[in-house]
Structure 1
Amino acid sequence: MTFTIPRRTILKGIGAAGLGTIIPGAIRPLHAASVAPITVVINQSPWFESFRKTVEAYEAETGNKVELDVNPFAGSLEKQRNSVRASEGQYDVLIMNSGWFTEMYAGGFVEAITDIDPGFKLDPDVYTLGDTIYYNAEKKSVTNDGKLMSIPVSPLIPMLYYRGDLYKEAGLSAPKTFAELEANARKLHNPPEMYGIVQRGARGPHTVAYDFYPYLYGMGGGIFKDQSAGDYSVTLNSTEGKEALDYYIRLAKEAGHPKTAASDQAEVIQAMVTGHSAHIMMVIAAWSQMDDPNKSAIVDKVEWAPPPSAPGLPTAPGLGHWLAGISKNVPDDRKRAAVEFLRWFQTKAAQLETAKAGGIPVNAAVYKEPIAEERKYRWMKPLAEALPHAVNIYQFPEASEVIAVLEVGLNRAVAGEVPSADALNGMSDEIEKIMAGHSYKTGKLDPIK
């Protein structure tokens, strides 16, 4: 359901008052205490409530107004695409997912924050998340030699959730390798009362693919050879890729849920909070639901760890983060107001509010605060351990086309409709055609058997 707060049009011009003369072709740095109201287009997600509460704290502290247009995942993207292509945008702040932020950068739809306010300074403790907040238009690359295009909103990566109480009873230790995870899942597997692990396998806008990334990259595989160097040769159907997909399918069949191919995020979380799963590999944004007595039957029983990996390789969770960029086709007073919100949002104080509201802080200083020692926030230290190893999966604007291919192919493989090798070879062929069609340097491996 879409929830929209009507725009307060009568307040639209407040931010312009007292700013003085604007130099033609430029936007003055913001100095006004009050600014125009802004509208943020955002998705409904497990972390939305924490964002909403943080916005309420901003409004209470500053008196400035922020309206939220809340939509399902795909609906948010559709609204953003429509707004940025209009003569004047409806939305001032775009909450962009890792799957489409490059599209907004490369398309020229997002205004660099430092072009709006040359005096804006990024808080040095803010996670840059693979430097995805920057964009170099000349190189067409997401690199820190580019302009500051956005501020992180939620540094989401998947983490391993596991039942600490069951681990203690069985004498188990948090798994560091995939072999250890499989052994632990098998040991605790007792269906239908308890599944060793519940995984996401449903097809969606960015569903089974996102949950597969920690396995693929954690086993040394990948989708492309070297995106940073501009080499988009497809490597999905490598030996490591097949090992990862075979492992994912085996877990589902032998230590997982019988309806993995139909399970989406809601079903995976539900299995955990109702006490029917020993493990899930889920985006960290769902942490607060585990200890919510109104939603969970396992309060204080879940622990967290970085996703496992193959021996000798680091954990490799895929970035599924969200970034806040400022739309280029909105009036200058709203751009300045958006900058002021982001300036406040990135601070340690604001991010402490986010953590207390159940969200994931984007400021590393919060993870060093006493709050990280509290039992309620026991996920913070494992997350801080994993974040430096997070992988930016896509560095090109057509990522959604590749994701669509993965969603179909991986879902069919998990459902048992096609063998893993056939699924990988088929997806690789389609992805290679997509990249060639967009004139990227590409190629593919020989079919794997």
Structure 2
Amino acid sequence: MGHFSINSTHSLRGRLRHTLAALLLVSTSTAAMAADQVPMTIVINQSPWFAGFQKAVELYQSETGNTVNLDVNPFAGSLEKQRAAVRTGESPYDVLIMNAGFFIEFYTGGFLEPLTNIDAGFKLNPDIYTFDDSVYWNSETKQIDAANGDILSVPINPFLPLLHYRSDLYEENGLSVPTTWDELYANAKALHNPPAMYGISQRGQRGAFDVTFDVLPYIWSHGGALYADQKGGDYTVTVNSPETLAGMETYLKLAKEVGHPSTAGQTQTNVIQNMATGQAAHIQGVPAPALFDDPANSIVVGKVNYAPTPGTAEHPSSPPLGHWLGGIPKNIPDDRKTAALAFLTWFQTDQAQRAYAEAGSPPVSRAVLTSELADKPEFRYMKALADSIPNARLTFVIPEASQVLAITELRFNQAISGELPLKEALNTAATEIAKVMTDSGYTAPTLPPLE
């Protein structure tokens, strides 16, 4: 999808003014502080939560009178535009909506303006989650550093997986919400009745950051990882550790015994459709509750509930962060930086976060996720999300993430499809990841191959 201006979409403006006014208006003082800014442009990806963000932007415009343009693209297209923008003489974009898998390359490249350089008094709202301290960056040590780092971004969306389950079928069959993979397997087996109903539908298709994202909860909750300790600077490659192997074996057990027959070909869209059309008893995915409760898109309205991803007896639920952060590039004029920061400051307010949530997008505010909204049926995902965020972990804190993901996306997919035996796929991935790391100057020892 190409570039467009919400301001120019008059019919949309009218509809959204009518509906969002009923949600919650931003306070006069907050709107006044943000008013009279130069026009700004945000580059963003098309995603299940985009509609909520779009409506929040529309509310910001109607409350402040400021102009915001949205340049909307597929995931990979948005990333490439951002990479090009920060390397030109002047970025055409004022806010970059960066994904958890790739924001580090913008941090390490020095492409983002520390937000306190724009406004010395800027602070992150204490109700906003920092998502494993991902908003802080120490440019000297090149590390995530909440104590000594600059604030380089503001969280935009808490993109992390939750377990989705058919609450009506749980009630009919007397099932309890699982907290371990073994419990999930037992529940999925009880409901598995192919081809009418699959016990679980899992994403296994290779993409930019697809199958890797979905297998990490299995791997981490078995004590495995891609590296020994990225945040601590230990880049020993552990993708072929016994613990990582155990996590992948659990994933494959579910896929083969109670899952979709073509798990290796399942995209995020496929998985969501399987739930929405009543063909999956469970999925693991980012919350998109408005979709499942929309009669035009779903036959399971009111029948999908949410829980944290399972863990094991030894390791609790540990979901990966695929969240989104808004950063301001250095290579734009000061007045555009000020306009961008005005929007990001407004976006953190309780009023904005409530409107964002009520427009269909999961908020990044602890206060909103744990508010009375969570007791309403349409926001029933909020409690599971609030329980999950404290245990969520960054997937990558190295700028070579895209190179590593190219390896893991291929090798995990080959293991799931049966193109390569699991141990061979993990050993191959370890060798390839180690080469990427050593070629980039890291010390990256490997483990003995799995036999």
Residues 212-264 of structure 1 show CA distances to partners (whole Å, capped at 9, x for unaligned) of 11111111111111112211001111111111112212211111111111110
- Match of residue 383 from structure 2: 381
CA contact (8 A) 1:230 1:441 kept: no
- In the TM superposition, 1:301-340 aligns within 5 A as 301-340=303-342
The share of aligned pairs that are identical, in percent, is: 51
Aligned pair in 2 of structure 1 residues 31, 3: CA closer, same or farther (>3 Å)?
Answer: closer
Residue among 392, 395, 399 paired with 1:393: 395
Rounded to whole Å, the distance in 1 between the matches of 2:335 and 2:449 is: 55
SS at 1:232's partner residue?
Answer: strand
Could you list the runs of 4 or more consecutive aligned residues of structure 1 that deviate by over 6 angstroms after TM superposition? none
Question: By how many angstroms is 1:76 displaced?
Answer: 0.3
- Match of residue 50 from structure 2: 48
Question: By how many angstroms is 1:321 displaced?
Answer: 0.2
CA contact (8 A) 1:40 1:93 kept: yes
- Match of residue 133 from structure 1: 135
Question: By how many angstroms is 1:3 displaced?
Answer: 4.2
Residue among 264, 267, 289 paired with 1:261: 264
The aligned amino acid for 1:39 is T
SS at 2:253's partner residue?
Answer: helix
Residues 374-400 of structure 1 show CA distances to partners (whole Å, capped at 9, x for unaligned) of 111111011101110001111111111
The aligned amino acid for 2:201 is V
SS at 2:305's partner residue?
Answer: strand
Rounded to whole Å, the distance in 2 between the matches of 1:380 and 1:322 is: 18
Residue among 421, 424, 435 paired with 2:423: 421
- In the TM superposition, 1:195-344 aligns within 5 A as 195-284=198-287, 286-344=288-346
Rounded to whole Å, the distance in 2 between the matches of 1:205 and 1:2 is: 20
- Match of residue 365 from structure 1: 367
Question: By how many angstroms is 1:67 displaced?
Answer: 0.4
The aligned amino acid for 1:127 is Y
Question: By how many angstroms is 1:32 displaced?
Answer: 7.0
The aligned amino acid for 2:415 is A
The aligned amino acid for 1:212 is V
Aligned pair in 2 of structure 1 residues 435, 294: CA closer, same or farther (>3 Å)?
Answer: same
Residues 340-381 of structure 1 show CA distances to partners (whole Å, capped at 9, x for unaligned) of 000100111100011101111111111232111111111101
- Match of residue 158 from structure 1: 161
TM-score (norm 2): 0.93
CA contact (8 A) 1:135 1:143 kept: yes
The aligned amino acid for 1:318 is P
SS at 1:402's partner residue?
Answer: helix
SS at 1:442's partner residue?
Answer: coil
Question: By how many angstroms is 1:7 displaced?
Answer: 10
- Match of residue 26 from structure 1: none
Unpaired runs of 5+ in structure 2?
9-31
Residues 131-178 of structure 1 show CA distances to partners (whole Å, capped at 9, x for unaligned) of 000100111001212000000000111000000011111111011001
Residue among 139, 144, 147 paired with 2:150: 147
SS at 2:318's partner residue?
Answer: coil
TM-score (norm 1): 0.93
CA contact (8 A) 1:154 1:360 kept: yes
SS at 2:188's partner residue?
Answer: helix
CA contact (8 A) 1:216 1:241 kept: yes
Aligned length: 427
- Match of residue 4 from structure 1: 4
SS at 2:297's partner residue?
Answer: coil
- Match of residue 12 from structure 1: none
Q: CA RMSD in A?
A: 1.4
Question: By how many angstroms is 1:31 displaced?
Answer: 6.3
Residue among 76, 80, 83 paired with 1:81: 83
- Match of residue 177 from structure 1: 180
Question: By how many angstroms is 1:336 displaced?
Answer: 0.3
CA contact (8 A) 1:2 1:72 kept: no
